[in-house]
Chain A
Amino acid sequence: MRTGLQTARAIAAGDISAQEALADCIARIEATDDEVNAFTDRTFDRADREALAVDRRRAAGEPLPALAGVPYAVKNLFDVEGLVTRAGSRVLLGNAPAVADAVLVQRLQVAGAVLVGGLNMDEFAYGFTTENSHYGPCRNPRDLTRVAGGSSGGSGAAVAAGQVPITLGSDTNGSIRVPSSFCGVFGLKPTFGRLTRRGSFPFVSSIDHLGPFARSAEDLAASYDAMQGADPLDPGCHATRVQPTLGSIGQGIAGLRIGALGGYFDENAGPQARKALADVAALLKAAPNVVWPDAAEARAAAFITSASEGGALHLSNLRVRSRDFEPLSVDRFISGALQPAEWYLRAQRFRSVYRQKVIALFGQWDVLLAAATPVQAPVVGSETFDLNGAAMPTRPSIGLLTQPISFAGCPVVAVPCWPQGADGLPIGVQVITAPWHEDLALRVAHFLETEGLCSAPVAAIASLVAGRPSQDFESDGGFSES
């Protein structure tokens, strides 16, 4: 099954049409989504128009943009013109449809990509499992009894299931990296403030990031590059120019100072997470046991900030219709709304100090590594998971390893690893770099991929036998030739 860039190149070369690529994609969605439940909205009519436009441009001999004809889908907190922006909720269903696409969707359209639909998520992005009571859980294509992760579960699952080669998600405390880890795909959480968030429903304005999922590091880079650019209308968008990454992705790792995080990041990693990190660290010849500053405090501050901002954002609806909220997260929102202001202010003051320490750390290192999740994907409905002998509450604890990093705003590529081999479950490793250095993280991810350690094969949903993980497969051509 082609990656996004393979699709774009095949269309540009005339091997397939954009409409044929779209037909393959739709067939795959229709064959698999009853089981995976990644999609909440299907924009097939729009996709038809966009694919036809690409084919007409090619027929007219026009040069095609980088992602021409590449099908993609977006977490349903992105505005899509004509759709109500659900953000995983029931509460927002009464709103008017969006009058315009989110800015990142507009930019992908300019790049020629074809929007196929909206994707399942944890309500209002407050979760790590996409066990959504309104729309049903999103299931992990690697093992349908397990969660896809969250809150961008549909985004991770749709890529893992081979439904679309590229999706968009959001990441506040881990919501791109966790689904990437659980579903065995690549995910990019860019630097905080890199990509405009205009036209997406917020969770925690202080920490929300938007970014892509894909089955290859090149696809991450290509989609990320297409979405970059200044946005003076988004006060949270600090990037004033584009810094392309695809052209340098093959430059390898020579000369990079690479370290593997220990301490907190080792203590909160289970055996498979540690093995995955060890495998990556060995290939990259990373120095061991690098200490990340104040990780536990940063996680606490991220937790408090998220609870306060999230709770405050939804307080008016919580007052009058809390029964319409997701039962798994409504009490956490209420708790956040009741937190003393001093907790939140202290967390924000801590962040100023923390930022300087992290910047200083990256004076000594170019790349740092840590597992993305403490454990592999839990079974749907799990209330606890075992972490080195301790029973941890599942939903608040999955982000133990991601929260300190996103609170610092550092860019991260989550790379999929298979510590138990191809028949086992995946688990991700975070490739972390200094702010504004997504290029280095993508270079490392691409190196790991080309060396064969990290891969994102399409899950064969149809071959699942109850209670056993899917057998994964990789094919070179399209899912169906036409």
Chain B
Amino acid sequence: MKPIQDPPWTDADTADYVRIAARLQALPLDEPQVRRVALHLGRTRAMAQMLTRFELTPHEEITEIFCPAPFPPGDDAVSATPMADTPGAST
């Protein structure tokens, strides 16, 4: 697969993006805030480029409500609260 070529992009471009996107989202930003937000967005853009270079096939779907691994099968009838006079007792 061909490596992705990042198009030329400048900090001024990021600020322009923030101005327009903020208007689209009805977010009133003054110029100092545009610059601060652009700084953060520029940092995140660098992270996004890292993921853009990570190979994914069309078959990799977005994850569902995330579950790190299937919950192991077992007996559901277990209470977690042992009595205080038997510290450390498992149930």
Residue ranges of A at the interface with B (Cβ–Cβ < 8 Å): 5, 8-9, 11-12, 63-68, 110-112, 191-193, 206-207, 218, 225-230, 235-236, 238-244, 246-250, 294, 296-297, 299-301, 303-304, 307, 315, 318-319, 322, 331-332, 334-340, 343, 345-353, 355, 358-359, 396, 408-410, 434-436
B8 within 8 A of partner (CB): no
> A58: shortest Cβ distance to chain B, in Å?
9
Contacts of A299 in B (CB 8 A): 47
| Nearest 4 CB-CB pairings of A with B | A247-B90, A409-B68, A300-B47, A335-B40
The count of chain B contact residues (Cβ–Cβ below 8 Å) is 53
List of B residues within 8 angstroms of A228 by Cβ:
80
Cβ distance A200 to chain B, nearest Cβ, rounded Å: 16
Alpha-carbon separation in the docked complex, A272 to B51 (Å): 31
Q: Is B9 an interface residue, CB under 8 A from the partner?
A: no
A300 and B66 within 8 A (CB) = no
Chain B stretch 34-91: residues in CB contact (< 8 A) with chain A: 36-41, 43-44, 47-48, 50-52, 54, 56, 60-63, 65-69, 71-72, 74-85, 87-91
A446 to chain B, nearest CB (A): 11
Contacts of A246 in B (CB 8 A): 82, 87-90
Closest to A362 in B: B69
In the complex, A65 Cα to B54 Cα: how many Å? 51
Closest to A8 in B: B84
Q: In whole angstroms, how far apart are the Cα atoms of A340 and B41 in the complex?
A: 10
Would A332 and B68 be within 8 Å (CB), given that A9-B87, A343-B48, A349-B62 are in contact? Answer: no
13 new A-B contacts, CB < 8 A, other than A9-B87, A66-B81, A66-B82, are A64-B84, A68-B84, A230-B76, A236-B65, A246-B88, A297-B54, A303-B47, A315-B25, A343-B51, A348-B62, A355-B68, A409-B68, A409-B69
- Residues on A with beta carbons closer than 8 Å to the beta carbon of B47: 299-301, 303-304
Q: Which of A64, A318, A353, A396 contacts B60 (CB 8 A)?
A: A353
Known: A339-B44, A355-B68. A319 touches B90 (CB 8 A): no
Given the known inter-chain contacts A63-B85, A241-B74, A244-B91, please indicate yes or no for A300 contacting B18, CB distance below 8 A: no
> In the complex, what distance in Å separates the CA atom of A410 from the CA atom of B69?
9
Cβ contacts A to B, 16 pairs, < 8 Å: A5-B87, A64-B85, A65-B84, A240-B76, A242-B80, A244-B80, A246-B89, A247-B88, A294-B54, A300-B47, A334-B40, A338-B27, A349-B62, A352-B63, A410-B68, A434-B69
Name the CB-closest residue of A to B82: A66
> For the complex, would chain A's binding face be called helix, strand, loop or mixed by DSSP majority?
helix
A239 x B51 contact (CB < 8 A): no
Known pairs A192-B66, A352-B60, A355-B63; A347 contacts B78 (CB<8 A): no
Contacts of A229 in B (CB 8 A): 80
Given that A63-B83, A239-B71 are contacting pairs, would A331 and B51 also be in contact in the complex, using a CB cutoff of 8 Å? no
Given A348-B63, A349-B61, answer yes or no on A304-B79 (Cβ-Cβ < 8 Å): no
Indicate which residue in A12, A191, A235, A347 contacts B84 across the interface (CB closer than 8 Å): A12
A11-B36 Cα distance, complex, nearest whole Å:
54
Q: Please, which residues of chain B bring their CB within 8 A of the CB of A193?
A: 66-68, 71
**Chain A residues within 8 Å of B65, by CB:** 206, 235-236
* Residue among B33, B37, B89 with most chain A CB within 10 A: B37
Q: Is the CB of B85 within 8 A of A242?
A: no
Interface centre among B66, B76, B79, by most chain A C-beta atoms within 10 angstroms, is B66
Which single member of B36, B62, B88 contacts A352 (CB below 8 Å)? Answer: B62
Residues from chain A with Cβ under 8 Å of B67 in the complex: 192-193, 238, 409
Q: Are B85 and A409 in contact (CB under 8 A)?
A: no
**Whole-angstrom CA separation of A352 from B54 in the bound complex:** 13
CA distance A434 to B71 in the complex (A): 11
Q: Which residues of A contact B43 (CB under 8 A)?
A: 396
Residues of B within 8 A of A230 (CB): 76
Residue of A nearest to B91 (CB): A244
Closest residue of A by beta carbon distance from B62? A348
